[in-house]
Chain A
């Protein structure tokens, strides 16, 4: 399985982050597809997960600002996060569960 991710890397405070992850070489069935993030120099944080049926689980600390979606026809899943602040500056990773991770996208929130 390979994961390729993309999205805007420089955003202003109060804007919305939008990232998409494409999955190659793997079926969408039977797995949860996850998002994580890692602020510079810090540990990892789980954002949430979605499955083929669009059932989601989200980190309560981010739940009010996070939307997850999935497009099974394109084998893609997406993350949106609203009301960004500088504290949301991080590398964002998509993953198949926890077993295979995408390369990461650096998102910087700055005025």
Chain B
């Protein structure tokens, strides 16, 4: 199985400031079709996960453009340009290049 390692484990951010989360994969997430299947989710307290970004950098429908994703191969980053109170929760990366789908351990973001 592909192992995803997220850093940091937790992050405290001042509103309006940027934040960055790293996700490193034990194997390349580039599929044979050339696409890279790395996803980012936000799970707010008491809620189910919601998809933010798919295929490294594509913003899912309705997601704020304060979120962006980058990276390639095995190293990926989620960036929040200006953190707001509603961004509090746990962020997960997930790989979809091979089964079983696997998730990172999560990064907890709160507001200072």
Interface residues of A (CB under 8 A from B): 43-46, 57, 59-61, 93, 98-104
B51-110 with Cβ < 8 A to chain A:
51, 54, 60, 92, 94, 96, 99-106
What is the interface of chain A mostly: helix, strand, loop, or mixed? Answer: loop
Top 5 closest pairs, chain A to chain B, by CB: A46-B101, A101-B48, A59-B100, A44-B103, A99-B51
User: Can you list 21 A-B pairs, Cβ within 8 angstroms, ordered by A?
Assistant: A43-B92, A43-B103, A43-B105, A43-B106, A44-B94, A44-B103, A45-B103, A46-B102, A46-B103, A57-B99, A59-B100, A60-B100, A93-B49, A98-B54, A98-B94, A98-B96, A99-B51, A101-B48, A101-B50, A103-B48, A104-B48
Question: What separation, in Å, do the CA atoms of A57 and B100 have in the docked complex?
Answer: 8
Query: How many B residues have CB within 8 A of the partner chain?
Result: 19
Partner of B39, one of A45, A60, A98, A102: A98
A44 touches B92 (CB 8 A): yes
B48 touches A98 (CB 8 A): no
Q: How many Å from the CB of A72 to the closest CB on chain B?
A: 23
Provide the residues of chain A in CB contact with B100, threshold 8 Å.
46, 59-61
Given A46-B101, A98-B96, A99-B60, 16 other A-B residues pairs in contact with their CB atoms under 8 A:
A43-B104, A43-B106, A44-B49, A44-B103, A45-B103, A59-B99, A59-B100, A60-B100, A61-B100, A98-B41, A98-B94, A98-B101, A99-B51, A100-B51, A102-B48, A104-B48
